[in-house]
């Protein structure tokens, strides 16, 4: 066995001294670091190598899909990141080669060459356009501050871009003494920045243990002790819009043909109603926007407002048969959608109404996303003039042109209200007799709205029918039905017929023989309407809408008022 050379005593001593020197140096460095931390020395551990993005005092840089760019004083953010933080529905219209983006009360189109941006129908001169770099589209967000309601700022020294929403609260304070801005409130934490006496900081929030979260003039977000800042003042309040309807919506559709005048409602009032929706507007087979207001319609609006009712006129695409192609053509063209939107906005302003009710039915399944685009683009224009958007949809499961043509998640996210037309569970074309609107069916579909489509309950208005169907089953197996208005039920069924309350559908049911045929009816009456209104309270929905005025038992309005005021 071989052994290494044995060290002398002198060599051992020299090695010991060397180890001690290294150990002391390490201790000295650690002591300096701790001293610097305790003394709040200015230490930056994370110097920005790329531009950081701070949105409303949150540093979102780590979550960005692409880098933020600053060129010639213009701040660029990628389309993907704008989708994450401002407009989830932003898209490139390839036929126009322009980006279409919406946010709150604005819709804007911006291209890659033309230094003109269109905002809510008006052209605005800009100094920078969109650009594409390695297949990534960038938008000049600093040119779009009015679109996204932001104050953009680039701090070159620290390579930080800040974007502050102009509709959010802003608080500032003066720095009473120089101090380090810490990464957390822990005893030992990183020093991110240093604030100087007499400078100003943005105040974000306060902790329970004596710290204030601030943003320094360098755009750095961190913590200082409460006594570091003084003279805190509110520069800007949260701009929260008051809802047009306080409490639950109680809307009634007032349907009349485009060939007749608006009904005369003078001298009448409806207990518990706060919104009326007359059928003022429609599109015809040629795709033209048409209105049927006239002098009688003006009198109608005046009557409604005098009674304290908001007016949300209905616009329909279904007054003429086979509107599939007409509706499809409009929905698939940005220019045609915008022309329709412009007509709707102008009519709402001209007639001084309070909102709009979109009732587009019988549409192609493949046009689902484009109908959503129509709602996405319409809503900011209507909100800009202080009005409300409600959109009528059918139950989630059904035919292509009846049910699968709606994206309820998008509509429920964008519109103020989504109206579930909870009727025609069994239609004239059904192969068996059944109820028009059973509560069990309504509950099942509401769960789909809320759980699957993720629509907030407070945005759902439950559409309730003031009609039912009388079914006739003949001995030869044939089946037909006829609509019976709620007010006429007791005039249609014989007095000898026995009503039986069906617990599953929450309706009275009658069955009797007449002229050799079996008659069946699931009755809509005050009891069944109350049960449907109970559903609204159970789910805490946004309210109810009734189809349609003049079909009801007049006594129902007291029940409506009592139930919806709960």
- CB of 545 closer than 8 Å to CB of 273: no
- The rounded distance, in Å, linking the Cα atoms of 472 and 289 is 40
Catalytic pick among 104, 299, 320, 361: 361
Pairing of strands 136-140, 106-111: unpaired
- The rounded distance, in Å, linking the Cα atoms of 510 and 532 is 19
Instruction: Give the tokens for residue 353.
Output: 């109404």
Instruction: Give the tokens for residue 300.
Output: 């109608």
Pairing of strands 229-236, 221-225: unpaired
- The rounded distance, in Å, linking the Cα atoms of 98 and 130 is 9
The CA R_g of the chain, rounded to the nearest whole Å, is 33
Which residues lie across from 224 on neighbouring strands? 212
**Under the phi-then-psi rule, with left for phi > 0, alpha for psi from -120 to 50, and beta for the rest, what region is 69?**
beta
* Residues of the chain by 3-state class (helix, strand, coil), percent to 5: 30, 30, 40
Integer CA distances (angstroms), 176 to 209, 218, 234, in order: 19, 17, 18
Let me know if 242 is a catalytic residue. Answer: no
Q: What's the 3-state SS for 219-284?
A: CCEEEEEHHHEEEEEEEECCCCCCCCCCCCEEEEEECCCCCCCCCCCCCCCCCCCCEEEECCEEEC
- The rounded distance, in Å, linking the Cα atoms of 292 and 314 is 11
- The rounded distance, in Å, linking the Cα atoms of 334 and 342 is 12
- The rounded distance, in Å, linking the Cα atoms of 365 and 399 is 9
Give the HSE-up count for residue 223: Cα atoms under 13 Å, Cβ half-sphere: 18
Q: Which active-site residues does the annotation give?
A: 361
């Amino acid at each position: 066995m071989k052994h290494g050379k044995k060290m002398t005593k002198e060599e051992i001593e020299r090695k010991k001294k060397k180890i001690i020197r290294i150990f002391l140096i390490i201790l000295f460095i650690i002591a300096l670091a701790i001293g610097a931390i305790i003394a709040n020395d200015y230490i930056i551990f994370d110097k920005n190598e790329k531009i950081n993005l701070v949105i409303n005092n949150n540093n979102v840089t780590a979550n960005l899909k692409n880098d933020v760019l600053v060129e010639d004083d213009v701040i660029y953010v990628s389309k993907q990141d704008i989708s994450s933080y401002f407009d989830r529905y932003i898209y490139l219209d390839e036929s126009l080669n322009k980006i279409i983006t919406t946010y709150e009360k604005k819709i804007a189109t911006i291209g890659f060459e033309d230094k003109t941006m269109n905002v809510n129908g008006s052209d605005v001169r800009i100094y920078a356009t969109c650009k594409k770099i390695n297949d990534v589209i960038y938008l000049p967000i600093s040119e779009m501050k009015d679109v996204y309601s932001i104050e953009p700022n680039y701090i070159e020294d620290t390579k930080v871009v800040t974007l502050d929403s102009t509709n959010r609260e802003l608080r500032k304070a003066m720095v009473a003494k120089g101090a380090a801005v810490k990464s957390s409130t822990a005893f030992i934490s990183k020093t991110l920045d240093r604030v100087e006496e007499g400078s100003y900081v943005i105040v974000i929030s306060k902790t329970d243990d004596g710290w204030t979260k601030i943003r320094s003039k360098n755009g750095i977000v961190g913590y200082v002790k409460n006594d570091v800042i003084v003279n805190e003042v509110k520069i800007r309040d949260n701009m929260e819009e008051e809802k047009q309807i306080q409490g639950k919506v109680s809307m009634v559709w007032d349907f009349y043909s485009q060939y007749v005048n608006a009904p005369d409602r003078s001298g009448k009032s409806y207990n518990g109603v706060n919104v009326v929706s007359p059928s003022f507007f429609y599109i015809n087979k040629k795709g033209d926007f048409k209105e049927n207001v006239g002098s009688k319609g003006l009198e109608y609006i005046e009557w409604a407002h005098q009674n304290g009712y908001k007016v949300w006129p209905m616009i329909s695409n279904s007054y003429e048969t086979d509107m599939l192609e007409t509706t499809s053509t409009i929905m698939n063209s940005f220019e045609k959608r915008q022309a329709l939107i412009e007509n709707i906005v102008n009519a709402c302003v001209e007639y001084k109404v309070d909102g709009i009710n979109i009732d587009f039915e019988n549409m192609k399944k493949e046009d689902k996303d484009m109908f959503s685009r129509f709602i996405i683009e319409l809503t900011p224009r209507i909100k800009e003039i202080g009005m409300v958007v409600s959109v009528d949809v059918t139950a989630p499961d059904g035919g292509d042109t009846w049910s699968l043509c709606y994206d309820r998640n998008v509509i429920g996210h964008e519109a103020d209200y989504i109206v579930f037309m909870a009727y025609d569970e069994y239609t004239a074309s059904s192969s068996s007799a059944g109820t028009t609107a059973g509560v069990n069916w309504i509950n099942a579909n509401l769960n789909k709205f809320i759980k699957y489509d993720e629509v907030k309950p407070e945005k759902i208005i439950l559409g309730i029918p003031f009609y039912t169907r009388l079914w006739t089953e003949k001995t030869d197996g044939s089946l037909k039905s006829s609509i019976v208005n709620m007010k006429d039920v007791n005039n249609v069924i014989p007095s000898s017929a026995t009503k039986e309350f069906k617990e599953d559908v929450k309706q009275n049911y009658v069955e009797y023989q007449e002229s050799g045929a079996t008659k069946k009816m699931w009755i809509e009456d005050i009891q069944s309407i109350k049960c449907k209104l109970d559903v609204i309270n159970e789910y805490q929905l946004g309210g109810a809408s009734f189809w349609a005025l003049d079909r009801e038992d007049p006594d129902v309005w007291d029940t409506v008022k009592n139930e919806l005021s709960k």
